[in-house]
């Protein structure tokens, strides 16, 4: 995803001269290096100074620019939080904060590098929108939106490398603020976002082999959440399953449950998310997900029990 992000941003920057890139200790490579060489006055690497990255972005936005603040997800929001809140969100500036390697992607570097609560933090900020594309193709559409149409701050949550494309399964175009159907089924509905779609895809294939036909809906825009489509989903499915690489606190699961109550949903909701605790291990991402019961066997077993 990070390579596709750089490619699409460079492509948009050629068309839109207002785009700037401010990075924090990210070594430019590929298209990002091309951007730096082509537009040296529009590319700034502040080093290990995330507060400066956000402050510069706010200043540039006040002068009519469209800055992208880009670094590893844990450092994009957590370290410069006060500046994100006061400099960008309070003034409702069109700054895109890009958190790369979000969720448990950096599991092998330990708990300090897990962005398990980033969506919760970003959602809590007034004026902040939150986008989490499921794959590189969706990321391209999200970058186009942030570069040209976003009217306020956006937290763009992306993966790292090696993600496959799944959005081609949908016959619906990507649209900001709109839940996107990927696979149509009748027995159970999956709601998900981000690169963890890979796990959901595996679960769906296993369920189909057992003559169970699930649907997958992609909630790529987490704020504002598409309540209208969710209401339709509540009226259509008796079993809804949310799967996310994020804390159970203030993630998709809690939003879905809250809206289910508001819309008087009578079905069953299963949630798979990270537990409200820190990780103290240095394992693979799959191991961290397993420790939090976000795994194929568990999901399949619980769905079959409900049918």
pLDDT in tens, 237-271: 999 999 999 999 999 999 999 999 999 999 999 99
Task: Quote the CA–CA distance of 143 and 141 in Å, as a whole number.
Answer: 5
Strands (E), the chain: 19-23, 43-45, 66-72, 96-100, 129-131, 154-158, 180-183, 188-192, 214-218, 221-223, 239-247, 268-274
Question: Please, are residues 303 and 241 in contact by the beta-carbon 8 Å criterion?
Answer: yes
- The pair of structure tokens assigned to 92 is 């409702």
Model confidence band, residue 160 (pLDDT cutoffs 50, 70, 90) = very high
- Say if residues 220 and 195 touch (Cβ distance below 8 Å): no
pTM: 0.97
- CA-based torsion, 20, 129, 29, 168: positive or negative: negative
**Mean model confidence pLDDT for the chain:** 96
User: How confident is the model over 64-106, as pLDDT tens digits?
Assistant: 999 999 999 999 999 999 999 999 999 999 999 999 999 999 9
Q: Return the pLDDT at 164.
A: 95
| Alpha carbon 8 to chain centroid, angstroms | 17
Beta strands 96-100 and 180-183 are: unpaired
Query: Which of 212, 274, 251 has its CA nearest to residue 130?
Result: 251
CB atoms within 10 A of CB 257: 15
First to last CA, the chain: 36
Per-residue pLDDT of 11-31, as tens digits, reads 999 999 999 999 998 877 788
Q: Which two tokens stand for residue 119?
A: 């969506």
Say how far apart CA 304 and CA 307 lie, in whole Å.
Answer: 5
Question: Distance between alpha carbon 205 and the CA centroid of its chain, in Å?
Answer: 23
pLDDT tier, 174 (very low <50, low <70, confident <90, very high otherwise):
very high
């Amino acid at each position: 995803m990070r390579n596709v992000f750089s490619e699409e941003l460079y492509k948009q920057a050629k068309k839109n001269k207002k785009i700037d890139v401010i990075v924090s200790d990210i070594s430019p490579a590929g298209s990002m290096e091309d951007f730096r060489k082509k537009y040296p006055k529009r590319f700034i690497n502040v080093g290990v100074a995330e507060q400066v990255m956000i402050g510069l972005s706010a200043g540039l936005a006040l002068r009519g620019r469209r800055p992208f603040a880009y670094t590893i997800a844990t450092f994009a929001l957590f370290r410069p939080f006060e500046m994100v809140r006061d400099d960008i969100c309070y003034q409702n500036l069109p700054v895109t904060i890009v958190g790369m390697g979000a969720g448990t992607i950096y599991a092998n570097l330990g708990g300090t590098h897990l962005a398990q609560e980033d969506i919760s933090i970003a959602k809590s900020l007034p004026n902040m929108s939150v986008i989490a594309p499921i794959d590189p193709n969706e990321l391209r559409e999200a970058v186009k939106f942030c570069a040209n149409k976003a009217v306020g701050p956006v937290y763009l949550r992306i993966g790292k490398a090696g993600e496959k494309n799944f959005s081609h399964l949908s016959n619906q175009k990507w649209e900001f603020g709109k839940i996107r159907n990927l696979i149509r089924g009748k027995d159970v509905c999956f709601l998900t976002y981000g690169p963890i779609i890979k796990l959901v895809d595996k679960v769906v294939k296993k369920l189909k082999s057992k003559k169970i036909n699930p649907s997958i809906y992609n909630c790529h825009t987490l704020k504002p959440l598409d309540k209208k489509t969710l209401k339709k989903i509540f009226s259509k499915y008796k079993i809804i399953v949310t799967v996310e690489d994020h804390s159970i606190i203030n993630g998709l699961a809690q939003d879905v449950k809250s809206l289910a109550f508001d819309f008087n949903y009578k079905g069953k909701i299963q949630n798979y998310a990270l537990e409200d605790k820190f990780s103290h291990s240095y394992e693979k991402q799959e191991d961290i997900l397993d420790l939090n019961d976000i795994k194929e066997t568990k999901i399949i077993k619980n769905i079959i029990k409900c049918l």
